[in-house]
Amino acid sequence: MNIPLVDLKTQYQTLTAELIEAVQQVMVNANFILGQQVDDFEVDFALFCKGRQAVGLASGTDALHLGLRACGIGPGDEVITAANSFIATASAISFTGATPVFADVDPETYTIDPASIRELITDRTRAILPVHLYGQPADMDPIMEIAGEKELKVVEDACQAHGAQYKGKPVGSIGHLGAFSFYPGKNLGAFGDGGAAVTNDPQLADRLKMLRNYGQRQKYQHEFLGFNSRLDTLQAAILRVKLKHLAEWNSKRRAAASLYDQYLDGSKFRSPVIAPYSTHVFHLYVIRSQKRDELLNFLNQRGIGAGTHYPRAIPFQKAYQSLGYRPGQLPVAERACAEVLSLPLFPEITEEQIQTVCSTIQEF
């Protein structure tokens, strides 16, 4: 039995008629750029995140990049972020001209360690960019407290955490701005690339709407140099259909995670820790093993789509070589990168599939 890491086909099968109808409407109206469905999706998504406004963008990377720009981040500034994330978390900072400064993470939750943030603050620090990694919120209260003290912006990387809650508050609307990705494999995925930024600050939303559309408010009146980074109307129409099911899909992910916990109980593999403050939405179910690479091969050879998120901390990527980080400088993140292993997880995964994954792990 082959068990993929992510299965994108089942969702389409269950929503086919509704999705085709939504896509057809866009094609009939031919309003492909910033059509009505984009506005409608922005309203729905802001409501889902309990934020005041959402702005549809071309990707999660752009939501971070343009979000930071909207917050006024630019050359000479420093932005503190987590060392263990997808590269886009850091490259978005670099695209503004600012420098990413990498903090170590909590050994249990893998999210940015607030104590580590404090040590890294300089007179150039302008923002903190916590990552809600694997679907679990970062510890936002101490982060917001530091930001308040030092007058820093907080941009949340919520690209893996649509619907996750921190002390009952949905992520993305806790900091100044939250960035979401609708890459197909995310908890809410489009049929291609897409993203959104959520904010309670109407001025930030206004600036983002200009940044995504060539710096114009009115056609051909360019107040500053913006980008072409709009969420496609087609993707917005698809996302509106799928958003209605997101809460249910997230509960199914949580249920699958707790089945994994059950079947792995007593094994030598460490299950994910759910922090007391968090409602985890399990974008990924990540265990740890000191023989990670061997276990990964073992599972892959047996048709189980395990993965590694992520095998190398961002400051140690070749692209960031020039920043001069030394091995051992971010010990918790570095060790996690050597040991983490993601198991197959998607809302439709069956108990039988989970059992098969776990019994194969036990054979290792």
Ligand X SMILES: *Cc1c(COP(=O)(O)O)cnc(C)c1O
Contact residues toward ligand X (CB under 6 A) are 59-61, 85-86, 88-89, 131, 157, 159-160, 181, 183, 193, 195
Distances in Å between the Cα of 351 and the Cα atoms of 167, 201, 348 are 29, 43, 10
> Measured from the CB of residue 193, what is the shortest distance to ligand X in angstroms?
6
CA distance linking residue 155 with residue 209, whole number of Å: 17
> Measured from the CB of residue 294, what is the shortest distance to ligand X in angstroms?
26
Q: Which helix (H) or strand (E) holds 98?
A: none
CA distance linking residue 46 with residue 198, whole number of Å: 6
Residue nearest to ligand X (CB): 60
> Measured from the CB of residue 307, what is the shortest distance to ligand X in angstroms?
12
CA distance linking residue 106 with residue 331, whole number of Å: 11
Residue 357, token pair as written in the block = 């994954």
> Measured from the CB of residue 27, what is the shortest distance to ligand X in angstroms?
24
Judged by beta carbon, residue 292 or residue 309, the one nearer ligand X is 309
Judged by beta carbon, residue 200 or residue 342, the one nearer ligand X is 342
DSSP 188-253: S--SS--EEEEES-HHHHHHHHHHTBTTEEETTEESS---B-BPBHHHHHHHHHHHHHHHHHHHHH
Judged by beta carbon, residue 53 or residue 181, the one nearer ligand X is 181
> Measured from the CB of residue 178, what is the shortest distance to ligand X in angstroms?
12
Judged by beta carbon, residue 48 or residue 110, the one nearer ligand X is 110
Other CB atoms within a 10 A radius of the CB of residue 210 amount to 18
> Measured from the CB of residue 297, what is the shortest distance to ligand X in angstroms?
24
Judged by beta carbon, residue 82 or residue 287, the one nearer ligand X is 82
Judged by beta carbon, residue 263 or residue 285, the one nearer ligand X is 285
DSSP 310-330: -SS-GGGSGGGGGG---TTSS
Residue 242 CA neighbour count, 13 Å, CB half: 27
